[in-house]
Amino acid sequence: MFLKLKHIGVWLCLLTHCSIFTYGQQTKLKYLNPKLSIEVRVKDLVSRLTLSQKIKLLRYTGTPIDSAGIKVPAYNWWNECLHGVARAGKATVFPQTIGLAATWDKDLIYQVSSAISDEARAKFDSFSKNDKRGIYQGLNFWTPNINIFRDPRWGRGMETYGEDPYLTGTMASSFIRGIQGNNPKYYKAIATVKHFVVHSGPESTRHSFDAEVSDNDFYQTYTPAFKMCIQDANVYSVMCAYNSFRGQPCCGNSFLLSDLLRKQWGFKGFIVTDCGAVGDFYRPGTHETVSTPEEASAMAIKAGVDLECGGSFDALPIAIQKKLITPAELDVAVERLFTARFKLGFFDDPKSAPYLQLPYSVVESAGHKKLALQAAHKSIVLLKNQDNLLPLSKKVKTLAIIGPNADNAEVMLANYHGFPTHVVTPLEGLQRKLPNTSILYAKGCRYADEVPSLDVIPEKYFYTSAGSHEHGINARYYNNSNFEGKPTLTRIDKKVDFYWINELPGNSFDRDDFSAIWTGYIKPPISGKYNLGVSGYDQCQLFVNDSLLTSFKSEHEPDLKYKAIELKAGVAYKIEVKFASTKSAPLIKLKWELPNQDLQAEALGKCKNADAVIMCMGLSPQIEGEEMDLVVDGFYKGDRTKLKLPDSQLQLMKAVKALGKPIILVLINGSALAVNWESENIPAIVEAWYSGQEGGNAIADILTGDYIPAGRLPITFYKSEDQLPKFDNYDMKERTYRYFKGKPLYEFGYGLSYTTFKYSNIKTKAVNKVNTPVVVTAEIQNTGKYSGAEVAQLYVKNNSNPDEVWSLKGFKKLMLKKGEKKVVQFILKPGDFSIINPHGERVINPGDFTIYIGGKQPARLATNDETISKKITLTGVRSLLKL
């Protein structure tokens, strides 16, 4: 009986990452005593570790400990959940963060992140039961990205909550609360705000760039969201940025990490570096602040870093030997990391941890897919609706769906994504929504002229041998990721197009430890230059006639590698594809792009026979994103150099417009677009973002009126990049709606509905004392013919500050039935009226302010209308606030 109980204890121990704790038995080890405080338990555990063990524990890979009576399983700290549990196999994928920001719905964001953390816990428990403790299988997550999207050219802006500090901080705080949970003792998971702090491109220089900003911009734009997430949402982890700030690398900057974060703001959690950031301290061509890894590692620890993503901390023994750092300083970091693990419940009885009862069935459950659809609905922004072209009649007989984003499942997932069972594209969503409509589809064009558009090679072009008439390709599957031994399974596959999320090639396979080799022949249908390649996750090689054509090893995001190759019609070319899965999301596709295609002609032929045309255009994570290799017209290494759509797309839209058909433009992208011609010539425009696995259904619901659009822009849509300062200039002058004096194409906060709203009767005290709250109310009435949601936005203008145009200080999303009227109330905090003075102090000065409440930014509305704006005066003595 004792042995059975002991074995049960060990199993529970492995489940929760605990040490050698056996329940029901007394132990003399303090760190296993749940009656003691976490601080006492952590200090006891750390005191039992050797210096070598401590140093290894400061690496994100989390070396296991099994010595001197201590048994602590490995724990990999690198995990992602930007808009769903990422890179760890099956998960619900919600709209990309910029789309979530466009909902302006903080309650929805909390629901979404709560669902994400439910899936994270369920997946973690499943991984732990199988002793899987690798990358992307843990419970602390390096998200959310709350950098200010100050310039639409930044390729990673899609990962943020937009350009406004208040909107960003509010939405991110809701996200963090959902991830971390509300238990007073345990975290459901741990969120990480990144990248601290002045960081938003360019991607090509992020390892060497030095951000120099004024105190005003630093404290009014770049830091408020971080401060809100730390002090209001109690986020427990912070990631420092790659670039330097005022001459010191952010991950070695004691002012940022110790003085500001810990001393001024009271941050109690742990700090992790961005991956390889410490190496940027000394590598040639980067910051080169110091000369050696040991100097860099000591610099990071002394500045406040606790955990490194990278390999520079391997030099810490040398740093200690050279007395660049002391073992006691390492202890502080190790203790912070173990405190996080204790707060996740890893060392306690599972029965006492509230989040260990979540079944795996919660992962991509029906409820979560429904929530993904709801989030996608709320994220979509109606930009234009001339003559009420929308909603589209469901009785339309023939509809053309055109564009590179019309039927591309991968683009809907953006970056930093998980792997849903199925992704609904706009084409599929409209086919479901309009079963009695004849729908004609054509890709129409590439994303950009220089970027090939590859499709999976169909079965009819594969042959098992050079002279065979049997279609298909020979497959050998191995029960390891090294192609070792005899194949576990051999068969003939129709094509190489696999997305192993729910099922694997066989029941005995492990999704992060198997491999496959496909051999056969392809016979091209026409002669010419093909773009031939493979896409997938995570390791692949493609051979043609026994020569390596291309390969990839995707550590993080799914990859696509291709090369141009001349092929002759009807000739049998030997093909071999070698694929190895070492992650939890095996994915592999063999693709090509046929030569000499006239995509536009095909699309125009379809449009001529249609009653209306829906054009799904925009961008793709293939051309905008994090530190990419791509350099083509309009795009540079992940960032954009032009804000307009590529010429290939614009030419297609102009050609379709010339046909005289009603056109609805659906934009699918992660950053602002200068759609000037489109705005003048296309009657209806919808911004759908990268809307996740249910995006196609949401787009169909919006276009047909089954859901009334209510999204609002979290970023400014400029007319051109010429309206902006240089991309690498971090000064906020003429950036974002708060400081931009020009006329945008579509302003921050903008969004139309199928119904209309009227604001009136704004009320507040005309005279208020400095340092006291200000209560503001207004009436909102739905004056249209549909029930719908509205986003009431409150902006404040300091009439003595000519630099700042307006600043968002409150918003509320509310549903109003047709004809219904509601009163909305905001309470402005004293800090909402503060500025940063020339001495770098945050102060509230007596003076005059204007308060505005409306459904959009006041820049496009008269602000002297006292039904929607009020001038108030603050009286009294200047008040000094904390930074």
Q: For residue range 780-807, what is the model confidence (pLDDT) as tens digits?
A: 999 999 999 999 999 999 999 999 999 9
Please name the residues in contact with 878: beta carbons below 8 A apart, sequence gap of 6 or more: 770, 843, 844, 845, 846
Question: What pLDDT score does 496 carry?
Answer: 98
Find out if CATH 3.20.20.300 is the number for domain 50-355. yes
Q: Which residue has the tokens 């922004």?
A: 381
Question: What pLDDT score does 867 carry?
Answer: 76
Separation of alpha carbons 802 and 13, rounded Å = 61
Q: Backbone phi, then psi, for 204, in 5-degree steps?
A: -70, -20
469 CB neighbour count, 10 Å cutoff? 7
Percent of the chain scoring above 90 in pLDDT: 91
pLDDT at 13 over 60: no
* Homologous superfamily, domain 757-881: Immunoglobulins (2.60.40.10)
Separation of alpha carbons 530 and 562, rounded Å = 10
pLDDT at 583 over 90: no
Indicate left, alpha or beta for 184 from its phi (over 0: left) and psi (-120 to 50: alpha): alpha
Please name the residues in contact with 328: beta carbons below 8 A apart, sequence gap of 6 or more: none
Mean pLDDT of 114-120: 98
Q: For residue range 723-761, what is the model confidence (pLDDT) as tens digits?
A: 999 999 999 999 999 999 999 999 999 999 999 999 999
Q: Confidence band (pLDDT; 50, 70, 90) for 294?
A: very high
Question: What pLDDT score does 860 carry?
Answer: 60
Q: For residue range 50-103, what is the model confidence (pLDDT) as tens digits?
A: 999 999 999 999 889 998 878 899 999 999 999 999 999 999 999 999 999 999
Q: For residue range 170-205, what is the model confidence (pLDDT) as tens digits?
A: 999 999 999 999 999 999 999 999 999 999 999 999
Separation of alpha carbons 348 and 17, rounded Å = 9
pLDDT at 603 over 80: yes
Helix ranges, 682-795 (H): 695-704, 736-739
2 CB neighbour count, 10 Å cutoff? 9
Q: Using an 8 Å Cβ cutoff, are 154 and 225 in contact?
A: no
Question: What pLDDT score does 97 carry?
Answer: 98
Percent of the chain scoring above 70 in pLDDT: 96
Question: What pLDDT score does 354 carry?
Answer: 79
Indicate left, alpha or beta for 308 from its phi (over 0: left) and psi (-120 to 50: alpha): beta
* Cα–Cα nearest to 330, from 345, 319, 344: 319
Mean pLDDT of 685-694: 98
pLDDT at 658 over 60: yes
Query: What secondary structure letter does DSSP report for 277?
Result: T
Question: What pLDDT score does 649 carry?
Answer: 98
Q: Confidence band (pLDDT; 50, 70, 90) for 532?
A: very high
pLDDT at 7 over 70: no
- Rounded to 5 degrees, what angle do the CA atoms 808, 812, 813 make? 130
**Mean pLDDT estimate for the chain:** 94
Separation of alpha carbons 297 and 159, rounded Å = 29
Question: What pLDDT score does 24 carry?
Answer: 40
pLDDT at 301 over 60: yes
Q: Using an 8 Å Cβ cutoff, are 737 and 167 in contact?
A: no
Q: For residue range 344-385, what is the model confidence (pLDDT) as tens digits?
A: 999 998 877 778 779 999 999 999 999 999 999 999 999 999
Q: What is the pTM of this model?
A: 0.96
Mean pLDDT of 675-691: 98
Burial category of 837 from C-beta neighbours within 10 Å (exposed 0-12, middle 13-18, buried 19 and up): middle
CATH of domain 367-452+598-739: 3.40.50.1700
pLDDT at 262 over 90: yes
> Peptide bond before 426: cis, by omega within 30 degrees of 0?
no
> Peptide bond before 197: cis, by omega within 30 degrees of 0?
yes
458-495+513-582 adopts what CATH topology?
Answer: Jelly Rolls (2.60.120)
> Between residues 859 and 279, which one has the greater pLDDT?
279
Q: Confidence band (pLDDT; 50, 70, 90) for 555?
A: confident
Mean pLDDT of 393-404: 97
427 CB neighbour count, 10 Å cutoff? 23
Sorted by where each begins, the domain ranges of the chain are 50-355, 367-452+598-739, 458-495+513-582, 757-881
Catalytic residue set: 274, 624
Mean pLDDT of 291-303: 98
Helix orientation angle between 327-343 and 293-303, rounded to the nearest 10 degrees: 60
Which tokens sit at 508? 């005995």
Q: Using an 8 Å Cβ cutoff, are 270 and 306 in contact?
A: yes
Mean pLDDT of 409-419: 97
Question: What pLDDT score does 9 carry?
Answer: 40
Identical fold for domains 367-452+598-739 and 458-495+513-582, yes or no, is no
pLDDT at 443 over 70: yes
> Peptide bond before 505: cis, by omega within 30 degrees of 0?
no
pLDDT at 829 over 70: yes
Separation of alpha carbons 201 and 725, rounded Å = 14
> Peptide bond before 422: cis, by omega within 30 degrees of 0?
no
Amino acid 459 reads E
pLDDT at 722 over 70: yes
* Cα–Cα nearest to 373, from 298, 291, 433, 447: 433
**How many residues can be counted in the chain?**
883
Q: Confidence band (pLDDT; 50, 70, 90) for 697?
A: very high
125 CB neighbour count, 10 Å cutoff? 19
